[in-house]
Amino acid sequence: MELPISFVERMKTQLGSAYAQFETALQQPAPVSIRLNLRKLGQQPQLPSVPWTDTGYYLPERPLFTLDPLLHAGAYYVQEASSMFLEQAIRQTVNLDQPLRVLDLCGAPGGKSTHIASLLSEDSMLVANEVIRSRATILAENVTKWGSGNVLVTNNDPRDFGKLPDFFDVMVVDAPCSGEGMFRKDLQARQEWSEENVKLCAQRQQRILMDVWEALKPGGILIYSTCTWNEAENESNMAWLAEQENATSLSLRLDPAWGVEASELNGMKGYRFYPHQVQGEGFFLAVIRKEGIAEALVHGSGKKKKHKLTPAGKKEQALVADWLIEPDRFEWLQHGEVISAIPATIFEYADQVYQKLYVVYAGIEVAEAKGKKLKPLHALALSPYLNKAVFRTEELDLESALRYLRKEDISLEGSGNDWVLLQYKGLPLGWAKQIGNRMNNYYPKEWRIRMELPQTLEEELFSLGQYL
Ligand SMILES: C[S@@+](CC[C@H](N)C(=O)[O-])C[C@H]1O[C@@H](n2cnc3c(N)ncnc32)[C@H](O)[C@@H]1O
């Protein structure tokens, strides 16, 4: 692997005698890891676990993930292991038992957003943001598959968050960076790297931090991370932030067996991941507290306010309410023909987000109402709040599941005129509609598997199911 010369020089200075081990590790294949969605999968797989998270596992090799229906069902997320350290940062510095408002500023494709969503209580709200429109769509897709009802996906520039001063209890800024930690996986990262680019990245990160700082509550927690090793984009940026603003660095407890390295610059602490010390890619994380006293969270002010979110019509609501388990936990909303549900406990805050930002997706999109016709939406199928009891459900084998996910015609015994929930290994994949003896495939076109199926389909090609 060809590494940029000035990168090598700098890493030699940074790592000293450990440089040779570091370079050897960079020649090895990157480990493959996944993080489970416990709302969907109860069992622990028979796989070695990622030590700093409760839900991360290493796989022996990189399988054909695309051909695992369980991935499309949102049962797990393919995520690089070091990044799962975010869980330690959150668990050790945030009280997760209280309702929180959390922002994941640089969210796409959704590794950290889905992880945060799994850690938060159901009364908390996560705003998963991505500035690039096409990437915000991918983020919304992954958040929808994950199925948490309390996430809003937004498509805004960091500076737009200034319109929500002192709003968030926790902010995660997983900043765009020079990507040195991805060198062994990503040829483009190696080719695009330059000292000049490192400087530009560091400046952009400072701008991003300044833009969102105002939206963090006094006493709130900012978690900053990158997948690069140079000091300019990491510790120096934290020290710079502490010079500009009233910010304190927080320490995390480390288990020495993890191999994570603690660093410090001007009193600002950071945590570094090197491939010769951990089973994961390059990563840096730091936790900062904005000084000041946070006010207690009160849900709703009691005053009548003009809301941007429109309640669903009583008639429509009555027709679809039993499509969710615990329908009373939700506020039912209508936007054009789409009826959706959002946890009542986050309604007021979600409305404030709608007033100020561009929301791409929110809560659970339940149904489309066209005149008297109601169509269940894909997000409902993927939501753990779906009330399966009110729908006809059919279990698919691997081949039919993959054909369904490719949006091909599938045939099932039956007749009538019914919405049918299709499942694989007990997990919903999406909807089909029986019309007479025909079955119409309602899998979202833009999400379909485009890859041709191999001649013989064996579960070992990959299904997480083989490890359960
Ligand atoms: C490291 S990636 C985020 C990965 C994501 N957090 C995850 O875990 O899946 C950084 C993201 O920042 C976005 N980004 C690029 N420029 C940005 C900017 N100026 N402000 C905010 N985000 C930006 C990129 O589009 C990219 O999605």
- Give the tens place of pLDDT for each residue, 101-123: 999 999 999 999 999 999 999 99
Whether residue 203 contacts residue 240, with contact meaning beta carbons closer than 8 Å, is answered with no
Nearest residue CA, atom 22 of ligand 1? 106
The Cα 219–Cα 165 span in angstroms is 13
Q: Is the separation of the CB atoms in 392 and 415 below 8 Å?
A: no
Query: What spacing in Å lies between the alpha carbon of 135 and ligand 1's midpoint?
Result: 9
168, 103 in Cβ contact below 8 A? Answer: yes
- Between the alpha carbon of residue 240 and those of residues 210, 285, 454, the distances in Å are 11, 15, 53
Nearest-CA residue for ligand 1 atom 13 is: 106
Residue 298's pLDDT is 52
The confidence score (pLDDT) of residue 111 equals 98
For residue 453, with 0-12 CB atoms within 10 Å meaning exposed, 13-18 middle and 19 or more buried, which class applies? middle
DSSP code for 399: H
Q: Is 157 annotated as a binding residue?
A: yes
Instruction: Give the pLDDT score at 301.
Output: 54
In sequence order, what are the beta bridge partners of 248? 289
Count the neighbouring beta carbons within 10 Å of the beta carbon of residue 369: 20
For residue 25, what is the enclosing H or E element?
A: helix 19-27
Q: Considering the chain, what is the average pLDDT of its residues? A: 94
Q: Which of 131, 207, 210, 283 to mutate to test the pocket of ligand 1 (most atoms within 8 A of CB)?
A: 131
Q: Is the CB of 130 under 6 A from ligand 1?
A: yes
Beta bridge partners, 361, equal: 153
Whether 208 lines ligand 1, by a CB cut-off of 6 Å, is yes
| Three-class HEC string of 338-365 | EEEEEEHHHHHHHHHHHHHCCEEEECEE
Q: Is 176 in the pocket of ligand 1 (CB under 6 A)?
A: yes
Answer yes or no: is the C-beta of 109 below 6 A from any ligand 1 atom.
yes
134 Cα–ligand 1 center, Å: 12
Pocket lining: 86 vs ligand 1, CB cutoff 6 Å: no
Q: How much is the pLDDT for 326?
A: 93
Q: Would residue 177 show up in a list of annotated catalytic residues for this protein?
A: no
DSSP reduced 3-state for 112: helix
User: Which regions in the chain score pLDDT beneath 70?
Assistant: 294-304, 459-462
Ligand 1 centroid distance, CA of 136 (Å): 10
Q: In terms of Cα–Cα distance, which of 463, 429, 434, 462 is closest to 447?
A: 429
Q: What pLDDT, in 10s, does the model give residues 181-191?
A: 999 988 888 99
Catalytic residue among 106, 177, 201, 227: 227
pLDDT, residue 186, reads 86
Candidate from 106, 145, 211 with most ligand 1 atoms within 8 A of CB, to mutate:
106
Q: What is the distance of C-alpha 130 from the center of its chain?
A: 11
* Alpha carbon distance 238, 260 (integer Å): 19
Residue 293: its pLDDT value, please?
76
Residue 296's pLDDT is what?
Answer: 56
Compute φ and ψ for 283, nearest 5 degrees.
Answer: -160, 150
Q: Does ligand 1 lie within 6 Å of residue 158's CB atom?
A: yes
Which domains does the chain carry? 81-290 (3.40.50.150), 301-390 (3.10.450.720), 391-452 (3.10.450.720)
Residue 303, pLDDT score: 61
CA of 101 relative to ligand 1 center, distance in Å: 20
Name the residue at shortest CA distance from atom 11 of ligand 1. Answer: 106
In DSSP terms, 64 is beta-bridged to none
Helices within 193-313 (DSSP H only): 195-213, 235-244
Ligand 1 atom at minimal distance to the Cα of residue 83: 8
Cα-to-centroid distance, 15 and ligand 1 (Å): 28
- How confident is the model at residue 294, as a pLDDT? 61
Tell me if 186 is assigned to a ligand binding site.
no
13: CB partners within 8 A, 6+ apart: none
